[in-house]
Structure 1
Amino acid sequence: MRLLFVFGIFILSFSINAQSVNGVVNAEDGKPLMDVMIRNLNSKSHAHTDINGKFILEGVHTEDSLQVSKQGYITQKIKVVNFDFISISLDEKPFLLEEVKITNSLKYLNTISKIDLEIQPISNSQDLMRKVPGLFIGQHAGGGKAEQIFLRGFDCDHGTDINVSVDGMPVNMVSHAHGQGYADLHFVIPETVDKIDFDKGSYFADKGDFTTAGYIGFSTKNALDNSSVSFELGQFNSYRTVALFNLLNKENQSAYFAGEYMMTDGYFDAPQNFNRINLFAKYSARINNNDKIAISLSHFTSQWDASGQIPDRAVNSGMISHFGAIDSNEGGNTGRTNFNLQYDSKIDEYSQIKNTAYLSKYDFELYSNFTFFLNDPVNGDQIKQKENRTIIGFQSEYDRKLNEKWVFKLGAGLRNDNNKDIELSHTLNRKTVLEYLSLGNINQSNLFAYTSFDFTSGKWLINAGLRLDYFKFGYEDQLLPVYSNQTQSKSIVSPKLNFLYTQDNTLQYFLKIGKGFHSNDTRVVVAQKGQKILPETYGADLGINWKPFPRMIINSAIWYLYLAQEFVYVGDEAVVEPSGKTERKGFDFGFRYQLTNWLFWNTDYTYTHARSIDEPKGNNYLPLAPLNTLTNGISVKDLKGFSGSLRTRFLGDRPANEDNSVVAKGYCITDFSVNYQIKKVSIGMNIDNIFNTKWKETQFLTESRLANEADPVEEIHFTAGTPFSARLILKYSW
């Protein structure tokens, strides 16, 4: 009995001596560092800094050793002498892959994006999307239209199955004039991007509409390291200039302005006459050392001409060249103005609230001709798609660390789209409206709430989440003789469950399971009276993150995704079509290796088997679904002032129709870049398609009729990919 009493006193005194350590981690310039790991080398417990650089580590004793580490900074070790507030400053250092650790984070793929951004800085707007392994894009409307997106066996069109956001503000457009989920990222200046948060599948409760194949969240910089001006001059009368001005750079405040102007005639026979202007300003501040605010304003405008998609037969017959046009009057203009407010408030050491509010004004006008003279042998089949919308919304999230094992999140938000005079019309030479095919006003609201719990026990992390989305759809058809405002509402519940087992800082296994969805166009909803208009997906990922060697990272996964039957609105024809149940399964593999302090190698490969469930075997292919994709590259960073890369991307052959009797041919393109830094001046060159390969960037199986044809023909129509194209870049920083 006496022995038990003594033992109890010993345990009690030990637990009393174990306390918590509070502190903050800053960079050399005094700016707080987020996601720094503070690890107790004695107890093996750890914590991460929050948005203000602050942390709390529990179960600490005097004389314990703490390791403070973050990618790109020199690791520090400190000994706990007392339990006073600790202030730590980390110095930057050259990037080394061996310092990247595998941690028990559900979003470990963000580590991959950090590596890629560090090694291969973004040089153009298309690179923004290509940073997602396995994601391919294609431009088929003169450079001003949002890119077509391919991911995980989805032809995502322009964003239907991938959720895209910038600083918490949605990019996808619901009930868009051209296509559901249309995601135009051209309003983002690439040089302002700081982080890319992405994942594949629908496994996170805070991601809602369009999160079927995955999501991408871009974060812009809160502050600039320096001011700079750059000039680019390239072939095909291409010119681009970017200016970044550091307006305010204090310990608790920062502000900067960024501007971009771009113009080009493009590589097509008919000049694109493309030009784009981007303006962006951002102010960030810490308030009372606890709260953080960021306000940004941006404006974007663009206009262009396009050669459109051309039929194989016109090229093969010599009627036009590979870069020619049937209707060179295609093109359009678009613009977007954004106000974004982010306010993060720290309630206490264990909880915080993150808020985002935004307002966007958007306009879009696009002229296309996919079928030439199929429907109108006299005037041609040119169509106009036009809209003017206002988007307003907010999202708030409460995060609470309940104890060492449990973390709780609760979020809610609202998005409203008010789309005026959304139009599809038959036009002539972009001047005359021959017939209105669709014209109306759309008002669509999405109210949502979500919650999730993280449970950590030893090497396990279990995350469970639940999301509720409520939609209200309203459509006023202006082509009807009397006023008619049709409305429908619909709700969907999406559960999530994720398991993570981190054996050590070199090996991790994960299983992710979740239900997701994408909404459909309001015009489908009212036509179908709310039936089968929020198709759900059910998916699972089973994979591994592994560091077999200090300078090598491998990530791979096998996955499955089911998509329910739905009805979709065809924006080019103003008709509603059924789309049956589908399933996709595949394999993803990623490889990052640092060969020397300055030489890096990265590879990403994906395989996808995509099929329709309801159709008989042999007639169940999903048109344009990618089968094999591969990206491979060698990069040089900071070799006596030199940086650069040689990168190849491969998209394999894929079916163009349901029985695979028509094939969309794949391509293999290699790009090259080099840059040399001399103090404040850098000079570089980017070369697209260095081997001048002839390829088709986008392809569609389309029925069309040329002016001299009596009968229509169904065959591949394509937009040519860029030939050899070089750009010279000069940059000055101060």
Structure 2
Amino acid sequence: MADSLSGQPLVGVSVGLQGQPGGTATDALGNFRLIGLAPGTYLVRVGALGYRSVAQAVTVGASETRTVPFAIAASALNLSEVTVSQPRDPNQSLAAISQIDKVLRPVNSAQDLLRLVPGLFIAQHAGGGKAEQIFLRGFDVDHGTDFAVSVDGLPVNMVSHAHGQGYADFHFVIPETVEQLKVYKGPYTARFGNFATAGAGEFSTKTRLDASQVKLEVGRFDTRRALVMLDLLGNGNHHLLSKKPESAYVAAEYNFTNAYFEQKQHFKRFNGLAKYTGQLSDRTSLTLLGSHFTSSWDASGQIPESAVRDGVITRYGSIDPSEGGNTDRTNASVVLTTGLPSDAVIRQQLYYSRYNFNLFSNFTFFLNDEVNGDEINQTDARNLYGYTGTYDRDDRLGARNLHTTFGLGTRIDDTDLTLRRAVRRTITDTITAGRVQERNFNAYLDETLALTDRLTLNAAVRADVFVFDFRGNYTDEEGSRQPLNGRKTRARVSPKLNLYYQVSPAVQLFARSGFGFHSNDARGVVRGTVNGNALPRAIGYEAGSTFKPLPGMVVNAALWALHLEDELVYVGDVAIVESAGRTRRYGADLSVRYQLTRFLFADVDLNYNHGRLVGVAEGENFIPLAPRFTSVGGLTLKNPQGFSASLRYRHLDSRAANEDNSIRARGYFLLDGVLSYTRPRYQIGATAENLLNVDWNEAQFANPSRLRGQTEPVQEQLHFTPGTPFFFKLNASVFF
């Protein structure tokens, strides 16, 4: 199965026989197998979102094997062609929803890519410099503790990070290069291990460019952005010498803004990417990727609500204007995909990342030091090495189709960490410093068996072994420096069991269950204190359906529950891990996508969550900052050659900011709009955020603090970073 323009193989294309249930999908090399067919003539139908469906009659004789090439052409989005079954990856029941959103929803920045995950909300703490705070399925995920993120197989989440466990800085991704998003909610998929409790998101960048592009953007608050994407081999077409499909491109972007705060942010970010994809032979493909990201910023930081109420500062003011930092990441990856004579496929990936992080923060102002303030500095200098390998094979078990995946991988993080006190970015004292070497070895076996023509069983088991090693020192409760050296090894086995029933081509039912986990910070594990639980277990289960009540409508609905053995919160300003204890959550998700006319689409996500601490008295068992109800939706006019527009809303309700619900994090309702005009050679557009110009709080926390001159600290109050006021941006692109 190949793209008719480039000749590149297409992965995940649905393949089935007209009038028969079940089917299959193309593998990593674009191949598919339909086995066990009786002699006769069949109408083979293939289709993928964004491509024109194709049907071809094929006659098969007794004991005959037929090879049938398909080349399909890209086309405008048509929801009537969307299929609700995912025969090769049944756990990805949100596949149709995610790909529709990728085509329809406007993406203006790397952080907007995360918002493509249905039900996921984000909050920025530092004007674009730090990783976003993530909310999903009743979790305040912090910066990524319970949501695993990857890009082209590269893990984004950082273990034992200087600022937060699972820290997922997604800003090294250029949004225009992203081609596909796969969303997996819950701990039901064996491919994902650490942090994949609330879910996981896999992003893939383009294998080729349809055209080279230069883009310029200007907006309020001194906002500027430039993007260049260059196709190096002629739109990814067949190379004249090799006669094999190959493509290569480079992309680079530069961002600058002073943001809307009174203290100018001086935010700068550069991203560069180079990617090559080629067919070395009919059975072998090679992908090479390299990227570099660097960013620096000043930040106003979070501010106490009382300071705004009392007129000490405005909503956009700052208590400590010396906050800010810089970070960079360099990535290299090579992927070799090989087809074996037995129709199996082996995919192997080696990757390396060099990462640096330097952050100045002040969360409590003058609580601990009334003269110099409580500013801290966190640094992280990391080498990240990894390997993942998978073996995929379609086979028969008696008269039934069986798909087997065996995976093997390792990840090694070698990190130098420091936590130091500072005064206006001048280092004064070291709280903790040392070297973390954290290694993960994992393997999994995933089996998908068609029990009947309609009922499919997916069973899997994953095993993870972690080695936590820390060599350094820390400051104890009395303020004395103490050595901390040690190594501990821990393991976790995570079984999964999922069922799928294809009622009709338009209705699929599912029931899923599985164990997962998130890891603790290595320093907490080595110290072996009450927070030394290395790999707290999660268990989740859900039931639901993906269905099409109308040809142009796709619906996904699920009732779910998730229990966590120990909800860990890394407190970066004192380099300790706090335990919230056991938690349980349950909820309901509903996503609807509807094509009203050829070019007009409507969508809505509704997500309800109820979460509580376990073993805590009623009324004192709220999970701080856990969302209860979230919703996004909108109308989109999508004309590939002409005017397009989108009007969207996002709503996050008010929720408990502390365990007894005495402090509330304030909810919000926002409207955003996008307008564009596209022609074959150019595009012009405009983006508006917060059209109603409402005052809203983005990141919010309940914690103690003291302002300069206050004789007594405020033991606990709401602190927040203000959300974006009305923001307007223009853009223009040239394609060539």
TM range (shorter): over 0.9
CA distance in 2, matches of 1:569, 1:323: 27
Answer whether contact 1:494 1:515 (CA < 8 A) is retained: yes
Q: What are the superposed Cα offsets for residues 57-96 of structure 1, whole Å, 9 maximum, x if unpaired? A: 2215343222232222222222224665322222222211
Q: Which residue of 1 aligns with 2:30?
A: 53
Structure 1 residues 155 and 346: CA distance shift in structure 2, 3 A: same
- Equivalent residue, structure 2, for 1:195: 180
Q: CA deviation at 1:478?
A: 4.4
Q: Name the structure 2 match of 1:102.
A: 84
Equivalent of residue 455 in structure 1, options 449, 456, 478: 449
Of 407, 411, 416 in structure 1, the residue corresponding to residue 412 of structure 2 is: 416
Tell me the residue number matched to 1:7: none
Equivalents in 2 of 1:38, 1:717: separation in Å?
53
**Aligned mate of 2:440, from 442, 446, 459:** 446
Change (3 A) 1:42 1:306: closer
Residue aligning to 2:467: 472
State yes or no: 1:79 paired with 2:51.
no
Query: Would you say the 8 A contact 1:594–1:600 is kept in 2?
Result: yes
SS of aligned partner of 2:317: coil
Sort the Cα spacing of 1:578 and 1:124 in 2 relative to 1 into closer, same or farther, 3 A: closer
User: Contact between 2:542 and 2:559, CA under 8 Å: does it hold in 1?
Assistant: yes
1:529-553 deviation line (CA, Å, top 9, x unaligned):
7952211001101111111110111
Contact 1:446–1:469 (Cα < 8 Å) also in 2 = yes
Alpha-carbon contact 1:25-1:54 (below 8 Å) kept: no
What is the correspondence of 1:686-697 to structure 2 with a 5 Å cutoff?
A: 686-697=687-698
Asked if structure 2 preserves the Cα contact closer than 8 Å seen for 1:42 and 1:64, the reply is no
State how far apart, in whole Å, the 1-side matches of 2:139 and 2:647 are.
Answer: 28
- Structure 2's unaligned 5+ residue stretches are 239-244, 476-480
The residue that corresponds to 2:97 in the other structure is: 112
1:506 match: 506
Residue 227 of structure 2 corresponds to residue 242 of structure 1 = yes
Alignment of 1:495-534 (within 5 A): 495-528=495-528, 531-534=532-535
The Cα shift of 1:113 comes to: 0.9
AA at the equivalent of 1:77 = A
Indicate the structure (1 or 2) with the bigger Cα radius of gyration: 1
1:418-448: CA deviations, max 9, x gaps? 002x1111101102x2221111111100011
The separation in 2 between residues aligned to 1:121 and 1:711, in whole angstroms, is: 48
Q: Indicate how the Cα distance of structure 1 residues 587 and 45 shifts in structure 2: closer, same or farther if over 3 A, else same.
A: closer
User: Could you tell me how far apart the structure 2 residues matched to 1:181 and 1:681 are?
Assistant: 40
Q: How many angstroms does 1:572 deviate by?
A: 1.3
Q: How far did 1:402 drift? A: 1.9
- Whether 2:288 is the aligned partner of 1:301: answer no
SS of residue paired to 2:97: helix
Q: Residue 478 of structure 2 aligns with which residue?
A: none
The separation in 1 between residues aligned to 2:700 and 2:21, in whole angstroms, is 54
Name the stretch that deviates more: 523-532 or 138-147. Answer: 523-532
* CA distance in structure 2 between the partners assigned to 1:43 and 1:387 by the alignment: 55
- Equivalent residue runs for 1:576-595 within 5 Å: 576-595=577-596
* 1:608-655, Cα deviation, whole Å (9 max, x unpaired): 111001111111000100001010111010076011211100000000
Instruction: Please tell me whether residue 312 in structure 1 is matched to residue 312 in structure 2.
Output: no
Superposition pairs of residues 699-714 of structure 1, within 5 angstroms: 699-713=700-714, 714=716
> Hey, what does 2:242 align to over in structure 1?
none
TM-score (ref. length: structure 2):
0.94
SS of the residue corresponding to residue 319 of structure 1 reads coil
CA distance in 1, matches of 2:95, 2:509: 16
Separation of aligned partners in 1, 2:127 and 2:557: 36
Contact 2:5-2:237 within 8 A present in 1 as well:
no
CA distance 1:468–1:320, shift in 2 (3 Å): same
Within the candidate set 152, 159, 167, 1:174 is matched to 159
Question: Partners in 2 of 1:96 and 1:60 — Cα distance?
Answer: 33
The correspondence of residues 587-666 of structure 1 with structure 2, limited to 5 A, is 587-638=588-639, 641-666=642-667
Would you say the 8 A contact 2:91–2:184 is kept in 1? Answer: no
Deviates more, 1:407-416 or 1:574-583: 574-583
1:228-284 deviation digits (Å, cap 9, x = unpaired): 000000000000011000012332111000000000000000000000000000011
Deviation at 1:662, TM superposition (A): 1.0
Q: Give the Cα–Cα distance (whole angstroms) in 2 for the partners of residues 61 and 33 of structure 1.
A: 28
| Alignment check: 8 A CA contact 2:21 2:502 kept | no
* 1:138 equivalent in alignment to 2:123: yes
* Deviation, structure 1 residue 484: 5.9
**The residue matched to 1:525 in structure 2 has which SS?**
helix
Deviation at 1:50, TM superposition (A): 2.1
Equivalent residues in 2 for 1:567-582, closer than 5 Å: 569-582=570-583
Deviation at 1:354, TM superposition (A): 1.2
Secondary structure at the aligned position of 1:659 is classed as coil
Q: What's the CA shift for 1:554?
A: 1.2
Residue deviations 1:294-328 (CA, integer Å, cap 9, x gap): 11000000000000000111111111111110001
Q: Superposition pairs for residues 381-460 of structure 1, below 5 Å?
A: 381-403=374-396, 404-420=400-416, 422-431=417-426, 433-456=427-450, 457-460=452-455
Distance between the aligned counterparts of 2:651 and 2:567, measured in 1? 31
> Partners in 1 of 2:108 and 2:6 — Cα distance?
26
Q: Flag the 1:407–1:678 CA change in 2: closer, same or farther, 3 A.
A: closer
Report SS of the residue matched to 1:730.
strand
Relative distance call for 1:664 and 1:452 in structure 2 (3 A) is same
Return the alpha-carbon distance in structure 2 between the equivalents of residues 347 and 651 of structure 1.
49
Match of 1:526, SS state, is helix
TM-score, scaled to structure 1 = 0.94
Secondary structure at the residue paired with 1:165?
strand
Counterparts of residues 285-300 of structure 1 (less than 5 Å): 285-300=278-293
1:524/1:567 contact within 8 Å kept: no
Residue 238 of structure 2 corresponds to residue 261 of structure 1? no
Residues 24 and 34 in structure 2, CA contact (< 8 A), matched pair in contact too: yes
1:350–1:402 CA contact under 8 A, matched in 2: no
Q: Aligned partners of 1:603 and 1:300: how far apart in 2?
A: 34
Deviation at 1:509? Answer: 0.8
How far, CA to CA, are the matches of 1:704 and 1:482 in structure 2?
27
Q: Does 1:278 align with 2:271?
A: yes
**Structure 1 residue 49 displacement after superposition:** 2.0
Q: Which amino acid aligns with 1:724?
A: F
Match of 1:36 in 2: 13
**Which runs of no fewer than 5 residues in structure 1 stay unpaired?**
1-23
Q: Distance in 2 between matches of 1:423 and 1:395?
A: 30
CA shift at 1:505, angstroms?
Answer: 1.4
Is 1:321 the counterpart of 2:314? The answer is: yes
Give the corresponding residue for 1:721.
Answer: 723
Q: Is the 8 A contact 2:22 2:454 kept in 1?
A: no
Secondary structure (helix, strand or coil) at the match of 1:146 reads coil
Please tell me whether the aligned partners of residues 380 and 418 of structure 2 are also in contact (alpha carbons under 8 angstroms).
yes
Deviation at 1:450, TM superposition (A): 0.6
CA–CA distance in structure 2, aligned partners of residues 566 and 729 of structure 1: 43
Closer, same or farther in 2 for the Cα pair 1:598/1:526, shift >3 Å?
same
Paired with 1:45 and 1:542, the residues of 2 have a C-alpha distance of 20
Change (3 A) 1:613 1:350: same
Tell me which residue corresponds to 1:70.
48
Q: Does 1:220 align with 2:205?
A: yes
1:122 Cα offset (Å) = 2.5
CA contact (8 A) 1:622 1:655 kept: yes
Structure 1 residues 267-276 or 531-540, which shifts more? Answer: 531-540
- Looking at structure 2, the residues matched to 258 and 640 of structure 1 have their Cα atoms a distance apart, in angstroms, of 24
Deviation at 1:570, TM superposition (A): 2.0
